[in-house]
Amino acid sequence: MTKEENQDTQKISTPQNEEHEKESSENLETSLDNSKDKNIDQDNLPKQSPEEKIIELEDKLARTFAEMENQRRRFEKEKDDAYEYGGFAFAKEALNLIDNLERSKQILENDETLKNSEALKKTIEHLNIIEKDLISIFSKNDIKPIECLNKKLDPHLHQAMIEIEDDQKEPGTIVQVIQKGFTIKQRLLRPALVGVSKKLTQTKKTEENKEILGEN
């Protein structure tokens, strides 16, 4: 085969070649159009002056510093809380010791077979000493009991469990402590469970007056 025949053979086109050439041409035209559109968009964007760019950078820098400062403060607060209240959960569990001592004393005092016995008196004395020692240890670690009796109910420190009719006290005055409450430093560790006074109902007042008159 001669050189001219070989060149003529290479120029022969097939349907696949024609389609490939058409796609390549279309892709090239699309790329050129997109490039033109981008150039047009960039040309239409307002150009910032050096002063405006500096102001924008200063604003971003100020925001970054503010966020860093906020993160630093949050970290400091979390660190302080961990140091001040790291034993919060342990202290709350330790209060069960005082609760159990109180229950033990009540059970012993209500036992008919032990009433007025020397054994009961000595046992109660020892339990009271242990309870005082525990409260003393708690106090040294800023865990202190909440004052309750004859105080006005404070929902931040007390939790009312029952109402007790009493005309001698103002309504809402604590007249009974069901379970002692405690604070740790400036934070509530456990609210005190209490009974508060309320006014006598009219029916009971009438009955009491009748009893008084009947006795006279």
Question: Is residue 65 domain-resident?
Answer: no
Give 42-89 pLDDT, tens digit per residue. Answer: 555 567 788 888 888 888 888 888 888 888 888 777 666 666 666 788
Question: Is residue 137 domain-resident?
Answer: no
Here the CATH number for the domain that contains residue 194 is 2.30.22.10
Question: Is residue 149 domain-resident?
Answer: yes
Question: Is residue 37 domain-resident?
Answer: no
Beta carbons within 8 Å of 192's beta carbon, 6+ residues apart? 146, 148, 157, 158, 159, 177, 179, 180, 181
Count of structural domains within the chain: 1
Structural domain boundaries, residue 149: 144-216
Query: Is pTM, for the whole model, over 0.75?
Result: no
Give 11-28 pLDDT, tens digit per residue. Answer: 444 445 555 555 555 555
Residues 203 and 208: their CA atoms lie apart, in Å, by: 9
Question: Is residue 187 domain-resident?
Answer: yes
Give 87-137 pLDDT, tens digit per residue. Answer: 788 888 888 888 999 899 989 988 888 888 888 899 999 999 998 998 899
Residues 50 and 52: their CA atoms lie apart, in Å, by: 5
Element (H, E) at 176: strand 174-179
Question: Is residue 34 domain-resident?
Answer: no
Question: Is residue 157 domain-resident?
Answer: yes
Question: Is residue 150 domain-resident?
Answer: yes
